[in-house]
Structure 1
């Protein structure tokens, strides 16, 4: 009996040792963070350092990298040109893999796209955001992972000191609005002009254009703003709906300035449907192929043409500069010139 009891004790002791050893192994793993953890700072610093080391190693060995971008709205021809510029650097120049995701003009989708790139552990990101505030929180997580990000086209509500983005590359948006206003002033010739302005407050780049336009016409008493408002949402349907409301509400519209070409083309559509387009000046910003065709056909009056491919190229080069261990040698804010296009020079861009 005594030997049986001793045997049972030995077996029980061995079982307890195995359980204890298993518990120790589980506590040492990194996949199960404790609720009492002091925070992610140490882990984030280690992750960022590891990511930087991996990028440096990839540069030395010639290993293929993966660079991602999120475009603000894939249905916009402007974004197609942006993607082309991005791919020309990532694929054509460096021979790396390019991932292109579409935010479809929706802030929540934008955040999900960035999260997707994080989960794919890309080496760098070029971000063309559709909202200037929505991505800020998740960009802090991206920074903690050590993934370099360059912002383009949309000016994000962050500062250089925060270190969330390597650079902010945008069009000379204020000057784009100024150019439209100067053309309107010249065409008015001192005669009274009543203007409707379509804006989008969450689009900081678009609001810079509106500011440039409004500031420029401010000293001209003959030019009056009938209404300055924005669509209910960032969709073609909502922009068309607002333009249709204006057409029904006012019978004395002389000009419409929209913050981008998609909205300007919606205004053209509403005016045509109401047989009011003749004699009304319609302006946008972007220089999309559809806008160029509309100008050629005598519908839109003019647009300040952006260079989205150049914005993407500049931002992608910044990402590679950092990945290759270099230092960016230009200002944090980079401004790409716009070109005013009307019937006099539209053939150059068709």
Structure 2
């Protein structure tokens, strides 16, 4: 009698579980993970690591997979990597181009394969080839650097270290020069591409110093550029009295800003760009309308307001 009672209890315990399993046989299939691709002009800049993190957090939260590539500032290599990602079966590509124009063959390949493209941080030339562009208001980022400079100096000789093949930096430079346009007290005395990297910018600045060009303001197209210029100035013991502006709001730049060696940076939020890009991708895949262009504001960080920002992190 006792054995039968135990058997009855076991049956009553297991039966609901068996019924549940049986009921699930005809239920919806488990979500099959989608593959997303991402490629950035370089991973030598921690900015893109943070941007990628913003995308990846959304993708992983949806049970999907992000494949990331680094072309090391080589557009031909980036085009090849995009073709490889298409062959691996990606449903969507997050693209930060090395060269806004020379990326076109890869965009054509995506279109042919039915892979939609979300363009992040710096725009491609053929905007019709992408679903949406998500970036900081780069024009404003350069503009607010110029406005701060004009508050500090009644006149200035300015060096701009830009990168014409990256439209984000081009728009930053344009915002800066438009802000000083028509005022003869502010003159751009030298302009040179610096690839957006510390090492290249440092070498460019060394060349400027050898030419004995008279300047007292530097606009770096991004924070690494500005820091590369600073390194060369310090090596030559020429940093005294030079205003140095970057654009990004990176932890490295804010730490140097805290020490008083640089002047200001127009802060971006790479994580927000990544998150908005991923959310836009999912809305598109769900058949919802998405904005063709999304611009996020920039904020100037200087020594005066640095306490309001976390030095060792991105906003």
Identify the TM-score tier after normalising by the shorter chain: 0.7 to 0.9
The corresponding residue for 2:257 is 295
Q: CA RMSD in A?
A: 1.7
1:344 to 298, 304, 312: 304
1:68 to 37, 40, 43: 37
The 2-side partners of 1:214 and 1:326 are apart by 39
The 2-side partners of 1:245 and 1:218 are apart by 27
User: Residues 252-290 of structure 1: CA distance to partner in whole angstroms, max 9, x if unpaired?
Assistant: 321111111111001100111111111110011111111
User: Residues 305-346 of structure 1: CA distance to partner in whole angstroms, max 9, x if unpaired?
Assistant: 111112222221222122223332x3x111111111111122
The corresponding residue for 1:91 is 60
The 1-side partners of 2:250 and 2:81 are apart by 25
Tell me, what secondary structure is at the counterpart of 2:219?
Answer: strand
1:240 to 188, 195, 202: 202
The 2-side partners of 1:321 and 1:61 are apart by 20
Tell me, what secondary structure is at the counterpart of 1:201?
Answer: coil
The corresponding residue for 1:182 is 147
2:106 to 119, 138, 158: 138
Point out where structure 2 has 5 or more consecutive residues left out of the alignment: 1-27
Does 1:212 pair with 2:207?
no
The corresponding residue for 1:34 is none
1:126 to 84, 88, 94: 94
The 1-side partners of 2:189 and 2:103 are apart by 34
The 1-side partners of 2:178 and 2:288 are apart by 40
Tell me, what secondary structure is at the counterpart of 1:228?
Answer: strand
When normalised by structure 1's length, the TM-score is 0.77
Does 1:286 pair with 2:248?
yes
Does 1:228 pair with 2:188?
no
- Asked if the contact 2:198–2:224 (Cα under 8 Å) also holds between the matched residues in 1, the reply is yes
Residue pairs, 1:17-56, within 5 angstroms: none
The 2-side partners of 1:235 and 1:292 are apart by 17
Residue pairs, 1:330-341, within 5 angstroms: 330=291, 332-341=292-301
- Asked if the contact 1:256–1:280 (Cα under 8 Å) also holds between the matched residues in 2, the reply is yes
Larger Rg: 1
Tell me, what secondary structure is at the counterpart of 1:183?
Answer: helix
- Asked if the contact 1:180–1:303 (Cα under 8 Å) also holds between the matched residues in 2, the reply is yes
Tell me, what secondary structure is at the counterpart of 1:283?
Answer: strand
Aligned pairs, number: 283
Tell me, what secondary structure is at the counterpart of 1:257?
Answer: strand
When normalised by structure 2's length, the TM-score is 0.85
- Asked if the contact 2:95–2:118 (Cα under 8 Å) also holds between the matched residues in 1, the reply is yes
Tell me, what secondary structure is at the counterpart of 1:349?
Answer: coil
* Higher deviation after alignment, 308-317 or 296-305: 308-317
Q: Call closer, same or farther: CA 1:251–1:130 in 2, change over 3 Å.
A: closer
